Structure 1
Amino acid sequence: MKFGAAEIEVTDFGDVTAGERVLEFRYRGGAPAQSAFAAVVVPDGGGWAQARLSIDPQVGDVPVALVGKLIETARAFIEEG
């Protein structure tokens, strides 16, 4: 996914042992060990209405337009199955 000049990688973990589905968002081109800056978690048996967005507090302020793009992307992943 692209946001301005930044490339953002989306990783879909549908097989987390807790039964949750997790979508992680991280900037591409960063350090290999760079952790995700945001994640959307869907509880086992849940759908879009139960999804939760978490932003890493170390990131600081996040543009509202980026949050909208994360939500739009996550919704597409979740509703596709």
Structure 2
Amino acid sequence: MVKEKKGAAGVILDSESAAHKTIKFWTRVKVTSLENGKSTTVKILDRGPYVQGRILDMVKTAFSKIHNPSKGIFRGKIEWPIQS
């Protein structure tokens, strides 16, 4: 059985979850890779990252929409509020 992880927002993290140290919980942000131009939208549901040099942690499912998960990190930009 897979243990579901709860984020700091008090809810179970889903396939669109991300962690940021200061962005308000439930904020939807657009993350775009500066390396390949791909982007995805995630919800801030947790706090972090706590690794020097990182700005945002994304769940593996969201990360894989932009890059191969084995890469681990990429140069990107974060935008909010999201423009329709």
How would you bin the TM-score normalised by the shorter chain? under 0.3
More strand by share: 1
More helix by share: 1
> Quick one: higher RCO (CA 8 Å, sep 6+), 1 or 2?
2
Taking structure 2 as the reference length, the TM-score comes to: 0.26
